[in-house]
Amino acid sequence: MYREEIKVLDCTIRDGGLMNKWQFPDEYVKAVYNACVESGVDYMEIGYKSSEKAFSRSEVGAWKFCDDKDIRKVIGENDTKLKLSAMADIGRIEPEDIAPAEDSMLDMIRVAAYVHQIDKAIWLAEHCQDKGYEVTINLMAVSNVMERDLEEALEDVGKSKVPIFYLVDSFGSMYCEQIERLVKKYQKFLPGKTIGVHMHNNMQLAFSNTVTGIIHNCNFLDATFMGIGRGAGNCPIEILMSFLKNPKYKIKPILGVIQDYMIDMQKEIDWGYHIPYLITGALNQHPRSALKWMDNPETKNDFVTFYKQVTDKEDL
Amino acid sequence: MYREEIKVLDCTIRDGGLMNKWQFPDEYVKAVYNACVESGVDYMEIGYKSSEKAFSRSEVGAWKFCDDKDIRKVIGENDTKLKLSAMADIGRIEPEDIAPAEDSMLDMIRVAAYVHQIDKAIWLAEHCQDKGYEVTINLMAVSNVMERDLEEALEDVGKSKVPIFYLVDSFGSMYCEQIERLVKKYQKFLPGKTIGVHMHNNMQLAFSNTVTGIIHNCNFLDATFMGIGRGAGNCPIEILMSFLKNPKYKIKPILGVIQDYMIDMQKEIDWGYHIPYLITGALNQHPRSALKWMDNPETKNDFVTFYKQVTDKEDL
């Protein structure tokens, strides 16, 4: 069952930061980093690479920008096998904000884009490649993309030199048959490229859909400690690590971070499986309405009212 | 996607009762019953059918026995389409404890057995059939059964008149490829019989494995409200209901019970995904060591020590 090509990418700080505006204590970021190194994780996505013009440091933490000085302050020079990644959102970063890779703590830039932004994403990813970075393109919200638009985007990516392309279940709305079909489509349109998977847990399918990706030869696997991430969260890295048979991966350092930091963190941040996230996932909707609902402690557990509000139906 | 043959069996009280010795308030049992009726659930497993000699009423609640008078007291005469089921464990019930079906509130008896008990299970199930009940046999802990023993058991079940046989992932240790293989094996050995699935959530795969069962023509689907059940719990019925496209199923009554009762219940009962349950599941072990660990509030979140204790390995 061991496949050497598989790479595990931890995005605990980047995706988890969507729940607390990237305001994690340095000690926690350092603990996640140490555990990634000790567990044999291949990539750690430490945050977003954003323009200082796009966000204010009075509102968001350092991991929305991923400046080298902030990375160095917390984890030092990273003289390990673990590679560091940052995500770039189209429209929130200027090309000149990205230093040449040889001068940067970062090894990889992942470009996240909606389907209408795919040409900008290809341009930005190739620009980062030219600066010496490993790159991926992560096409978001594919469950809401019309087939013709998807195929046109895949044709464009196929002509690019971007080597890794991600299947992203942004809404946590897909199950195994849909994942299998899209993976095979991506592979058909992108011969020779690596496919990655980034899954959300609205229907408790994040790990399962990642397994479907593994079975169908996806080799970049996103996961987070205890599944932390926006809304229902992501594929829990501790489950993924206990499943992969690659001898380089170890689970114990990850368990240590979960018990030392994340049990308490769960009291402050409401990520994970909750009914409002299930409802938006099952309806193939963006989780923003569920996130807003969960933000009000008075009403967050009134699931029936939320359900009525998002459906206006009486018969589901 | 709609398949008329599919039956959803709620086992909230029966499997959830493993976490509180079946001591649910009557009001809660009634609420679950009402929601099952309104949601179009096909069967509600209200508890175990056990001998009064095997357990003491000072230790376990009424749903360990499922006496007609207790059922009537809470839900009345059940003049609805919902069928009532009870589970019988081999060795904890005498045949004479089971009244003729025409005199009983119960419609179905499900016989749970380990592989070495399969002949006793067939005898008891056929005995219940002769008394007028619908019956199933649920073979437990199949992930630990040697292939030859399994095939011998399946041959015996194949010769019986028991019409429904369950694939049970007692340890929550299996993933889709294992489920698919076993379902196909069961179908090969049991032509003409219906296969059911009962999954546990140790690796967050209970719903996903149930979907795998659906894809491969399993037609009896076990689930519980909010996944309540022993240890990591079961397939959450609210996710299953949001997935099935059968127009008779409705999710809203289930959401009502979850918000009115189960959010608070979670503060008292620690079912669901927790790291000790993941560890026993990933190791294909009975969850009893994890249940015991979780029972001690002082140490339950010391996952690293638990992991060391159950593995004696340093390298996973």
* b (16+ CB within 10 A) / e for A226-237: bbbbbbbbbbbb
Separation in Å, CA B241 to CA A137, A315, B175, B234, B257: 34, 12, 21, 14, 14
B112 touches chain A (CB under 8 A): no
Would you call A175 and B242 a contact, using CB atoms and an 8 Å cutoff? Answer: no
Residue B282 with chain A: CB contacts under 8 Å: 239, 242-243
Using DSSP's 3-state secondary structure scheme, residue B186 falls into helix
B201 touches chain A (CB under 8 A): yes
CB pairs under 8 A between A and B: 111
- pLDDT for res A313: 54
DSSP A165-205: EEEE-TTS---HHHHHHHHHHHHHHSTT-EEEEE-B-TTS-
- pLDDT for res A168: 98
**Single-letter code of the amino acid located at A158:** G
Nearest-CA distance A283 → chain B (Å): 9
Between CA B142 and CA A112, with CA A273 as vertex, the angle to 5 degrees is 110
Q: In tens digits, what is the pLDDT along chain B, a chain of 316 residues? A: 689 999 999 999 999 999 999 999 999 999 999 999 999 999 999 999 999 999 999 999 999 999 999 999 999 999 999 999 999 999 999 999 999 999 999 999 999 999 999 999 999 999 999 999 999 999 999 999 999 999 999 999 999 999 999 999 999 999 999 999 999 999 999 999 999 999 999 999 999 999 999 999 999 999 999 999 999 999 999 999 999 988 999 999 999 999 999 999 999 999 999 999 999 999 999 999 999 999 999 999 999 999 999 997 545 4
Separation in Å, CA B216 to CA A42, B180, B195: 35, 7, 10
Do the Cβ atoms of B141 and B114 come closer than 8 Å?
yes
Please state whether the predicted TM-score (pTM) of the whole model is above 0.90. Answer: yes
A278 touches chain B (CB under 8 A): yes
What is the pLDDT confidence band of residue A113, given thresholds at 50, 70 and 90? very high
Q: What ipTM was assigned to the predicted interfaces of this complex?
A: 0.95
Q: A83-89 and A108-113 as β-strands: parallel, antiparallel, unpaired? A: parallel
Task: Locate the chain A residue with the closest alpha carbon to B39.
Answer: A316
CA distance A56 to A64: 10
Would you call A203 and B251 a contact, using CB atoms and an 8 Å cutoff? Answer: no
Indicate the fold that domain A7-268 takes in CATH. Answer: TIM Barrel (3.20.20)
Task: Locate the chain A residue with the closest alpha carbon to B226.
Answer: A275
Closest CA to B255 of A269, A286, A308, A206: A308
CA distance A223 to A234: 6
C-alpha gyration radius of chain B: 19
Residue A303 with chain B: CB contacts under 8 Å: 255-256, 258-259
Residue A239 with chain B: CB contacts under 8 Å: 203-204, 278, 282
Nearest-CA distance B17 → chain A (Å): 22
Query: For the residues A5-10, what does the mean pLDDT come to?
Result: 98
For chain A, which residues make up each domain, given as ranges? 7-268, 275-311
Query: For the residues A156-185, what does the mean pLDDT come to?
Result: 98
Do the Cβ atoms of A34 and A253 come closer than 8 Å?
yes
Return the residue matching tokens 């294909």.
Answer: B284
- pLDDT for res A312: 76
Q: For chain B, positions 282-311, list CB contacts with chain A under 8 A.
A: 282, 301-304, 307
Task: Locate the chain A residue with the closest alpha carbon to B316.
Answer: A250
